[in-house]
Amino acid sequence: MAIQEVRVRTTPYLEDIKGKYLLREIQNTLHINGITGLVTAKVYRLEGISVQQAEFLARRLLAEEVFQNYTVNETIIKDADKLVEVAYKPGVMNPEAGSILKAAADLGITEMVAADSSYEYGFYGNLTDTDTELILSRLLVNETVEKVVTEKPATLIIQGQPGGTRVIPIRNMDDAALLELSKDNLFLSLEEMQAIRNYFINLDRDSTDCEIETLAQTWSEHCGHKTFKATVLVNGQAKKPLYQRLRESTNQAAHPLVLSAFEDDSGVMHFYDGLALCGKVETHNSPSAIEPYGGAMTGSGGVFRDIMGTGTGAKVIASTDMFCFAPPDLPDDEVPPGCLHPHYLLRRVVDGVRDYGNRMGIPTNNGSVHFHRDFKAKPSVIVGAYGLIPAADAGKRRPVTGDLAVAIGGRTGRDGIHGATFSSGEMTSRTMDVNSSAVQIGHAIEEKRMSDALLRAREEKLIRAITDCGAGGFASAFGEMGEDTGVRIYLDRAPLKYQGLAPWEIWVSESQERMGLAVPPEHMERLEAICREHNVEVTVIGEFTDTGKLELFYHDELVGELTMEFLHHGLPKRVMRAVPQERPVQMIEPDYPRDWEHACIQVMQHLNVCSKEPIVRMYDHGVQGSSALPPFAGEAGNAPNDAVIIAPVPGKKYGAVIAHGLNPVLNAIDPYAGSIWAATEAVANAVASGANPDELMLIDNFIWPYPDEASMYDLDRAVDACVDFVRATGMPFISGKDSLSSTYRAPDGSVLKIPPVLCISCFGRIPDVTQTVSTDFKQTGSVIVLVGQREVQQMSGSSYFDITGAASPHVPVIDPDRLITTLRCLYQANRSGKVLACHDISEGGLLAALAEMCLGGGVGASIEVPAGERADYYLFNETAGCFLVELDDLTQAVELFMDVPYSILGKTTAEPNISVTQDNNSLFNIATAKLFAAWQKPMQEVFGGC
């Protein structure tokens, strides 16, 4: 069939924003200056329609006549010195293709059989072949999922015959053969492979590929949490599994607001008016490392579906993102083989989160970005979501025998195959080649339609149980749902993106935007009607049985049969040794600052301190009209708030607070102290904004190096820190995730451990969103109070020590028992209405917090460093759980904070300067404008101030 080509570009008299953006990247990032201009065009290929129909779609659908031109079957960039087209590879999900087909059908053109889209880039000027290759490899083409188009395709339809089901002769494999089978894709240990071999020996038959893939997915670290469920040996003494410790600490806390903890796709707490609030935070490190745009998109989409899969379906009301990268200016020769440059990773991860959240209409309103050189081999990409659901619908539900197994949402393809197992293994120089099929591109509009349909179905009580087709796809969803009963699946019924998938590929594919449902047969007709209304595909692919087995059929052939007992409980239990490693730290104290202005500017523009505003502005944090305390506030809207507060129910004053904390630098130095710091930072952010510490829930995300004995010891200490924090504060962990593959193995066998990350997310309820507190100073002449306990000599891990090359074994040590007293005191102070502004102290220390408050209020500050203190330590110490508070007068400080450590720092001033004295001597007086410029500079250089 004929393929018609439509090309669309911005009219020449208007600015080509995409071209301008790329030209700036080429000049500033790649330092290629021979290009004088760059324009872009979108190319649409439409198969099965006439030229006249293509003309109609170009005019009515593909081009906006006010500011775009189009051509049909002819070039549109005609005078460029070099023209390059870049497209997704065949089989990679292109979200636009499905939307074009559906939109064309809505316009009455049903003859189209396939569609695709790509970009053309027209370069002007002197561009060498070397320049072209560098631009393509660094900016335009990720070879994992994209290609340069060199000739017009003969067809857009992917054709193929599915391969048959293979029998794996596992019974006759020796240990070497078992390990060879596991390498690259299964990522199972020898003991685990032996257990599978013994299972099939006892059955007196060999395994099919469907069965071995199902076991690998279910037993993967990503899905099975094998390390967190292992017995831990420390100094020869057995300790309870990490997961058990976390659950027991939550159970012992017996928090009255907890509705569901570690039982469903997200944790759930009581909200107001019969509603419940749920939260989940996920990691998408491995996919993002090899395709950052798709990896981040599907990370967001996946965690949204975790909310949608809670109870019988929740509405997503907020999104968060926390990232860890190597510095964006890392020299090219320091990027490990097989890895992408951090500048590219940072930009494309941000693009992915932006595009998914914005397109779904979900506000991304809380997050952070952290930097460390050792993230050069693999970033940490953390995405979270929060939702609202009637409390009566919030409990975990299970299918019953006779329920239909229903697939809803997107179609199934090869994208995402081996995603769960791939995410469970360490990264190597071969990862991008071997595991490219684990990469996916998300389709936010598809998920939005599905979300709307599911909420209607929940309201009409049509769904018995629901879960996300996440890691492992149908294998994960229906394999887990059928654990207590049994399930029979007919794989040939699954809607496919294209032909040629083998049965095992259909079963374990992680193609996005799909959910698995258990639906009573009498409700199926109504569910189908709702899905038609929302343009969502829904298919019955099986039924839940009473056999206690997983049974997989393909065209009436039994291609897989496993007992649920072996699938879910046959995994050999691990015993993990934990051995402490020596961390000798030579004490190197920095010289006392001679140039205070330089020191302050260096701290403010440190990558872990500087403003992330260019990133935040790409996200629509007000899309649902619920933003009560946005990410930025102040006179000019450029002062960062500590937490986000939303009012998700129209017309109601009550709301939700969302915050988080993490510090990879401290975790690498002292995993216990760093973990306490992360939890403290999370709740301090929330309480500084007006939250009640006794109504907060916690979520843990452990992103850790592959657990050898040393890393296992550090992980054990981090979990102990979490348990101790719960016991001291009463704040329970109700959801979590572990990702234990932050290790890179180079071609020469050397190993780089990516810094360990514990991200603690925090969410809770607030009765009145009008009684919250922002960070910006409100007036001149106010009293500035420092609240909280800190030892300023504990400077290890600080930004100040980093820029001065100093070192110390003394990290900030936080006492959780004292902390909860301070938090409760601050909460009561905020409730009194006497606190004008409040900001917690974190990266950059007191000076950075003070500067941000001044910037927000358009004022200055005059403060006094106490006699006897080392002034640079006093200003730059980063102990979490301490706060700067603005009050009207001194008497209020005594009244509000008499029961906790506090001191009077100084006052706000009309002059836009920060003035610091000690012993009646001036240390420095610096204009806030200089600090502001330094603070904004790093991310503006990366993102161009967008």
Q: Is the separation of the CB atoms in 122 and 7 below 8 Å?
A: no
pLDDT of residue 222: 74
Average pLDDT (405-422) is: 76
User: Which of 286-295, 506-515, 626-635, 903-912 is least confident?
Assistant: 286-295
Q: Is 249 annotated as contributing to ligand binding?
A: no
- Strand 3-10 relative to strand 35-47, pairing: antiparallel
Strands, E assignment, 767-807: 783-787
Comparing C-alpha atoms, which of 93, 118, 623, 615 is closest to residue 348? 615
CA distance 548 to 88: 42
Is 695 annotated in a binding site? The answer is no
721-to-231, 234, 551, 787, 881 alpha-carbon distances in Å: 18, 16, 43, 23, 16
Using an 8 Å Cβ cutoff, are 118 and 149 in contact? yes
Helix residue spans in 163-284 (DSSP H): 175-182, 190-203, 209-218, 221-224, 242-253
Strand partners, 561: 551
| Model confidence band, residue 417 (pLDDT cutoffs 50, 70, 90) | confident
The radius of gyration of the chain's CA atoms, rounded to the nearest angstrom, is 28
pLDDT at residue 157, as a whole number: 86
Mean pLDDT calculated for residue range 657-682? 97
440 assigned to a ligand binding site: yes
Confidence (pLDDT) at 168: 95
User: For residue 497, is pLDDT > 80?
Assistant: yes
Predicted confidence (pLDDT) at residue 426 exceeds the cutoff of 70: no
Closest CA to 163 of 414, 410, 505: 505
Q: In this structure, which topology does domain 162-239+399-571 adopt according to CATH?
A: Phosphoribosyl-aminoimidazole Synthetase; Chain A, domain 2 (3.90.650)
Residue 468 annotated as binding? yes
540-544, 619-623, 646-650, 776-780: least confident range:
619-623
Average pLDDT of the residues in 432-450: 71
Cβ contacts of 13 within 8 Å, gap of 6 or more = none
Query: Is position 700 annotated in a ligand binding site?
Result: yes
- 914 touches 586 (CB < 8 A): no
Judge whether 376 and 416 are in contact, CB under 8 Å.
Answer: no
Lowest mean pLDDT among 420-434, 733-747, 916-930: 420-434
Taking domain 3-148, whether its CATH number is 1.20.1050.10 is answered by no
Contact partners, residue 88, CB within 8 Å, separation at least 6? 94, 116, 118, 145, 146, 147, 441
The pLDDT value recorded for residue 416 is 62
Cα 546 from Cα 544, distance rounded (Å): 7
Locus of tokens 């403290």: 680
Active centre residues (catalytic): 222, 284
| Residues in a beta bridge with 45 | 5, 116
Q: How far apart are CA 88 and CA 441, in angstroms?
A: 10
What's residue 33's pLDDT?
Answer: 86
CA distance 86 to 148: 5
Length of the chain: 946
Rounded CA-CA distance 68/9 in Å is 6
What's the pLDDT band for 214 if we cut at 50, 70, 90?
very high
Q: Which residues, at least 6 apart from 347, have a Cβ–Cβ distance to it below 8 Å?
A: 942, 943
Q: Is 426 among the annotated ligand-binding positions? A: no
Report the 10 Å Cβ neighbour count for 118.
19
Per-residue pLDDT reduced to its tens digit, 334-362: 999 888 889 989 999 999 999 999 999 99
- Domain map (residue ranges) of the chain: 3-148, 162-239+399-571, 773-946
Phi, psi of 172, deg, nearest 5: -100, 5
11 in Cβ contact with 61 (< 8 Å): no
Q: Compute the average pLDDT of residues 130-137.
A: 90
For the cut 70, the answer to whether the pLDDT of residue 429 exceeds it is: no
* 586 in a labelled binding site: no
Interatomic CA distance for residues 703 and 707, integer angstroms = 11
Mean of pLDDT values over 672-676: 97
If phi over 0 gives left and psi between -120 and 50 gives alpha, with beta otherwise, what is residue 376? alpha
Would the annotation count 470 as a binding residue?
A: no
Separation of alpha carbons 5 and 118, rounded Å: 11
By DSSP bridging, strand 549-554 and strand 487-490 are parallel
Question: In the predicted model, what is the mean pLDDT of residues 200-214?
Answer: 96
- The whole-number average pLDDT for the span 307-313 is 96
152 exposed, middle or buried (CB, 10 Å; 0-12, 13-18, 19+)?
A: exposed
Taking only the tens place, the pLDDT of each residue in 803-838 is 999 999 999 999 999 999 999 999 999 999 999 999
511 is in an annotated binding site: yes
Instruction: Quote the CA–CA distance of 790 and 285 in Å, as a whole number.
Output: 34
* Two domains, one topology: 162-239+399-571 and 773-946: yes
Is 739 annotated as ligand-binding? yes
275 or 440, which is more confident: 275
Q: Are 756 and 703 in contact (CB under 8 A)?
A: yes
535, 445 contact by CB (below 8 A): no
Cα first-last separation, the chain: 43
Whole-number average pLDDT of the chain: 93
Instruction: Tally Cβ neighbours within 10 Å of residue 864.
Output: 17
Class for the domain spanning 773-946: alpha beta
